[in-house]
Each structure stands twice: as C-alpha cells, then as structure tokens.
Structure 1
C-alpha cells in the first residue's frame, strides 16, 4: 500500500515544532545558571522570557500574511534560518541587555512558525483529518520542550550553558535542508504525490463551505474575519492556553529548583514529565476532535468540546498545584494539566479552519496567533513579579487557573453555529 505523502509533510512539521520548542525552552532550562553568572533577579528573568514575544507576536501576523502570499515553503525556510542564527547568538550574550536583544530577535524569527504550519496543513490535508494532522504535527512542540530538559540541562552541566545554544542552532540548519528538498506549497506540485492523493485532499479540502455543510460561499475581505466574534472567541481561548503554556515553559524549571529544591541535574529529569503529558495531549486531542466530528457530523461541536474540556480540567489541576507543597503531587498535577491543556491548541487551529475560508486562513490565523501570544509577553513577566514581589508561586498558579476558566467561557459564548454561518455568508 502506498504511503500518503501528506504524512511525510506532517513529519517535517513535527520535527520543525520539536526544534522550535527545544530552542525556546533552552533559556528556561539554564536560567538558574544564567541568573547567577549574569547577576539577574527573578523580575528581570521574567522580562527576558517576555521579551521573546515582543517581535514574535507581530510576526505571527506578518508570517501568516506572507504564507498566504509567498507560500509556506519559502516562509518557513527563511524563518528557521533566522531563528537558528539568533538562537546561536544567545551563546555570546554577556549581560542582561545583550541577552534581551538576542531574545527579541529570536522571537521575531520564530513568529511565522505557528501560522505557517497551519497554512501548510490547510493546503495538504482534507478537512476530516485536520484535527489529527494539527495534533500530530504540533506534538513535536512539547516533545521538544521535554527533550530540552535533559539535552540542554546535561550539556550545560558538562560543557557550560553557552555550548547548548550552538548545538541547537546547528540542528536548525540541518532541518532547513531537508524541508527545502522535500516540501512544496501544494500537493499537486510535488512529484511524489499521486493523482489519487491529490483528488482525495481536494475532495474534502478546506474550501469555502458553509458551517452547516451547505453550498460554496464567497470569501469576504480579511477584516470581516479578523474582527468577528467567532474569530475573537477562538483567540481568547488560545490566549488562555498560551498563558498556561508560557508559564510552564518559562518558569517550571525555576519552580523545581527554587520551590522544590532540586538541583539542575535532577530537574532535567523531572522536568521531562509534564512535557510528555503535553505530547500525549496534542495527539489525543486531535484524535478526539476528529472522532467527535465523524460521529456527530458537527464540526463546531467537536472542536469546541475538546477545547472546553481541555481548558476546564487544566484549570482545576493548576489551581490544585497552588495548594500542594511536595514534589510528587505537584508533578502529577502539572503533568495532568499539561495533558488536557495541550488538547486545546490543535482544536483551536482546526476550528479556525472551519470558520474562515482557506484563502484567508494565513492572515486570520496570524492575527489570532498574535492576540494569543500576547500571553507570552504577559505570562512570564506577571509570574516573575508575583514571585519576586507578591505571594510567590501559589498566586501564579491561581492566576493561570483563572484565565483557563475565562477562555472556556468566552469560547462557549462567541463561537456558535448561527454566528459562524452569518460570518461565512451562509444561510443560518
């Protein structure tokens, strides 16, 4: 039986996500060492974590627009090249200021990643496989964060923290070579894709179809979609997930070393567990979302159910972490929270594909990603200030839990079949 080439594309995107989050998590893993060497306090460290998202948020939108205009092949290759350069440049930082410059530039380069991935999936996968495709490809992201703990932590322990950033940069350039050789913007442009597979993708593609499965409808100008309640509802739910994500990504290593009193060697092992849960959440969320869609025939119900279930259970677990002090229950609750929280982003991306026509998905996805990643600016900084000047880690967990609940409620109110049908210009 011939292997469908679109799953090769999924593998390329999987490894891109893995490298992307390996890059991002590296600083948080070595943060206890960097704080001492560069004389940085917790509040400054929070600002450093947040500075990544200053450029990142803007280029989420620019990257999505560019993917619509120039195609994901060129945009992804260029972005990966720049983020590898600036990841490597982190190794040469000698102060808080130079490290911040490197982080801002690094964020600019990584900005197009999420929306370009979604554009590639929209081009290459039929609608009935969108949840699985997004879930499986994005599963590389928490897996990258998981392997960052032992790889970066142990390399830093043996050879110094700077060497780890150079190694990651080299891996990025290796991926670019494979991507450029193996990927094309559309399946019909690739010689390895059979006419049967092209027909299968096109027959169930993300075309301009009404939310109720009705006739083809005409796409409007992009601003109509950007400012609509369904799109903004998805953005708020995505923001809530990202707040929890960037809290974990930035501060879990410091939580384990400062609050649970682990050294960097043991933290590198324990720190893997939440991200393994997150990896499982990505895959299970995509499968559950597509399974509900096939069972009910209601794509909005399927995507929304997964998002609300994920955010709700994650919010409860994160709240409970604020009430425990020993290591085992804390790690268990964080791992469960990660599993359920990470069921939501692929459902958000898939839901967006079912709200917005395919020719607007890059720009609209970029706008949603921009709004959602404002959490990347707020979450690390707010957490740093709560730890430094407030009630410590407990209040930071409570804040993350509250935002998860808010995201769930807003999604339920804003994303409804009647609103989506009106947005798509279809009969209600």
Structure 2
C-alpha cells in the first residue's frame, strides 16, 4: 500500500490535538513580554535597546541550542523530550514574574531559550512520524495554528498588565504550562514501531550520531537552500512582528493594551486561517505534483508583500489593518509546508536535527533583527522603514524557496 493512502496510526490526530495546545503556550509565553513593554519598563529601568535585547538573547540562545535539541529528539524518545521542554519553560515563565532587575530578566529569557530549544524539532518530527504524505502539511499547519492562537493571546499581556500587574501574567501562564505537562505525560506517546511481517526480521534502529546527521543534511543542496530561506524568513517575520505593537501605539495613539491586542489579534487570527488553508491546499497539490508544497510557500511569500507595504506606508488605520490581514493570511503558507518539504529532502532519521538546524538560522537572524530594531529606535529611525525592508526580504525568500527541489530521500524509501 502506498504511503499516500496508508491508514494513519490510531494516535495520529490525538498527537496533533495535544501538541496544538503546547504550541499555543510556547508562543504565548515568549510573546507576552513584547506586549507589556510600558509596564515592564516602568517597573525595571532599561533602554529600548535593552528591551529589544531581552528578545534577542532568548532567540539567540534558543537558536544556538535548537540543533542539539533536534539531535536529542532524534536520538531518544520524542514525546518525553516534548514533555520535559514544556515543563521547564513553564517553570522559567513563572520565575520571570519574580525578576527585580534587568540582569535577572536577561537571565530568565536565556533560560527560556534553553528550555524551549527541544520542543519544535521534537514536535515536528513526531508529527511527520505519525502522518504520511496525504496529511503532513495539514497536520503541521493545524499544529502551527496553535502558534497563531498563542501569538494572538499574547496580546492579552498588555491588557492584563493595564488592569493588574505584569507579574501576574507570567505567574498564571507558567503554572498553566506546568499543569498541562502532566496531561501530556499521561497521553502523548511516540509512534509505535511497525509490526514485522511474517518471516521478516526487524533490525535494531541505527544509532544516531551528530556528525553523521550534519554531514547527511549538508550534503543536500536543497537543505542548504532551505536553511538560507528559513533564516531570511525569520528576519522578515521578526522585523514586522517585533515592532508592530509599538508602531500602532505611536503612529495611531492606541493604548498599550489596545495596540498589543490589535497587532497580534489581527495578524495572528488571520494567520490561524492561513496556516490551515495553506496546509490543506499543499497536501492536495502535492498528490499531483512533487513541488506542490514549494509552490504554495512561494505564493504565500509573494502575496504577503503587498500586505506589508500597506501596513507600513498607509496613514489610515483601516488600510493598515487590511494590510495586516493580508500579511497574516499569506505569510504562514511556507510555515505549514517547511517540515513536510524537509521530510522529502533529508534522511528521516535526522529530521528533528534538520528542523533544529534551520531554526538556528531563523531565530538567530530574527533575534539580531529585533535588537537592530531597538538600536534604530534609539537612533530615531522610523519603524516603517524596517517594515519595508521586511517586504523586500520576503521577495528574496520566494526566490530561494522556488529553487528548492523536493524529492523522496533514498533513505526514506523502503527497499
């Protein structure tokens, strides 16, 4: 029976549902900080560049350790890596509420990067283990739609901080994550091994070594293109998302809470729809053409560009909101398809490591972009220029993605 029509394992969609909530918490915990800028700066003295550095140190730490997190997920039980990561970053979220100085905040954001580094490589690989070609992008897109919901809910941080105190936000969501890790401990499992056919000898799984994994990944031209593409996509994404609440607050005189809810709510609610739509469309297209997922990603990058130009250059709030919706809907198309594309071009034994490696470039590039944005703010550079730069990078991303040649890696094809 072909992989396209092979029945899915019993827990395939349960894994998607369980991980949806983890992805939601993952991005909520990392983004609530940027929506509470005013409240945090009123409590702990820092410059705009230092505030940007809080996000930068998280992203750089997270990025540096993502390949090791992915390798760890390839080498040991993926579901247990996910559970440990969730519990650890939730505990750090709770600790952040008790910071009293900028160095303490910086330390906790570093620990957040360390504790989150294992999650996405392990989760992406686990879903690709459970799902075959006909449902891979949809499963990945639904999982990542949790990111969109978590990102949108992150806007609640500024609103809650306006009503109570910024520390309450970190305490509440930290405790919630630690409790949910117990739910995963009871329900989340790795995909069971395929039963042996009559007369067939089941070989022991090969040992996974980091050097061999990296050598295999970087021997693929398409993987190198994916690496550069994902890094530049991180630059574009963080250049826009990292400063959108501040832009709305200053350009249209919105309060901190309303600016955060508007920025994250409009973009990420439309992204929720776009993530699932892009995954479903790509799954259907890929059944007819091996490059179907690539084309969906290219289209998403190009359609997002006019949305960015609208939000960056229009003086009317209604047009800016329209641009945010266009950008939010189209931008997730490549996200829904990146891991399924990687599953076509790399050895599946090293898939989590591959996800970790490309995440390194994306988050480190994004982190440097956030810090550069803060430095530019201190130099009184208009945020609109940062957004326009992001639009240009999206065009380059579309070209790089178009050059990727997806195919089934020989090691993934049964002999």
Relative to the length of structure 2, the TM-score reads 0.88
Matches within 5 A, 1:306-345: 306-345=296-335
In structure 1, the partner of 2:246 is 254
1:369 matches 2:359: yes
In structure 2, the partner of 1:379 is 369
**1:222-243 alpha-carbon deviations (Å, 9 max, x no partner):** 4132353201211222223322
Q: 2:123 aligns with which of 114, 117, 128?
A: 117
Q: 1:185 aligns with which of 190, 214, 237?
A: 190
- Secondary structure, counterpart of 2:59 in structure 1: helix
Q: Distance in 1 between matches of 2:94 and 2:169?
A: 9
Q: 1:94 aligns with which of 96, 100, 124?
A: 100
User: How far apart are 1:188 and its partner, in Å?
Assistant: 5.1
Residues 340 and 240 from structure 1, CA distance in 2 versus in 1: closer, same or farther, beyond 3 angstroms?
Answer: farther
In structure 1, the partner of 2:381 is 391
User: How far apart are 1:363 and its partner, in Å?
Assistant: 1.3
Contact 1:241 1:345 (8 Å CA) reproduced = no
Q: 1:277 aligns with which of 259, 270, 273?
A: 270
Q: Distance in 2 between matches of 1:257 and 1:422?
A: 48
Relative to the length of structure 1, the TM-score reads 0.85
User: How far apart are 1:390 and its partner, in Å?
Assistant: 5.2
Residues 244 and 281 from structure 1, CA distance in 2 versus in 1: closer, same or farther, beyond 3 angstroms?
Answer: farther
Q: 1:240 aligns with which of 232, 242, 246?
A: 232
Q: Distance in 2 between matches of 1:153 and 1:302?
A: 40
Q: Distance in 1 between matches of 2:192 and 2:252?
A: 50
Contact 1:239 1:407 (8 Å CA) reproduced = no
Query: Unpaired runs of 5+ in structure 1?
Result: 190-194, 200-219
Q: Distance in 1 between matches of 2:343 and 2:302?
A: 23
Contact 1:50 1:380 (8 Å CA) reproduced = yes
Contact 2:128 2:340 (8 Å CA) reproduced = no
Contact 2:89 2:115 (8 Å CA) reproduced = yes
Q: Distance in 2 between matches of 1:385 and 1:333?
A: 26
1:38 matches 2:44: yes
User: How far apart are 1:421 and its partner, in Å?
Assistant: 7.2
User: How far apart are 1:339 and its partner, in Å?
Assistant: 1.2
User: How far apart are 1:4 and its partner, in Å?
Assistant: 4.4
Matches within 5 A, 1:41-56: 41-56=47-62
User: How far apart are 1:5 and its partner, in Å?
Assistant: 2.7
- Secondary structure, counterpart of 1:92 in structure 2: coil
In structure 1, the partner of 2:338 is 348
In structure 2, the partner of 1:22 is 28
Q: Distance in 2 between matches of 1:386 and 1:424?
A: 47
Residues 188 and 311 from structure 1, CA distance in 2 versus in 1: closer, same or farther, beyond 3 angstroms?
Answer: same
Contact 2:216 2:347 (8 Å CA) reproduced = no
Q: Distance in 2 between matches of 1:22 and 1:333?
A: 23
Contact 1:123 1:187 (8 Å CA) reproduced = no
In structure 1, the partner of 2:259 is 267
Contact 2:93 2:170 (8 Å CA) reproduced = yes
**1:267-295 alpha-carbon deviations (Å, 9 max, x no partner):** 2442311110111111111011101112x
In structure 1, the partner of 2:66 is 60
1:174 matches 2:171: no
**1:272-330 alpha-carbon deviations (Å, 9 max, x no partner):** 11110111111111011101112x2x23x111111111111212321332221232211
Higher share of residues assigned helix: 1
Deviation beyond 6 Å, 4+ runs, structure 1:
421-426
Q: Distance in 2 between matches of 1:256 and 1:377?
A: 21
Q: 2:160 aligns with which of 155, 158, 173?
A: 155
In structure 2, the partner of 1:214 is none
Contact 2:20 2:144 (8 Å CA) reproduced = yes
Contact 2:82 2:122 (8 Å CA) reproduced = yes
- Secondary structure, counterpart of 1:127 in structure 2: coil
Q: Distance in 2 between matches of 1:132 and 1:34?
A: 38
May I ask how many residue pairs the two structures share in their alignment? 391
In structure 1, the partner of 2:5 is none
Contact 1:145 1:249 (8 Å CA) reproduced = no
Contact 1:75 1:116 (8 Å CA) reproduced = yes
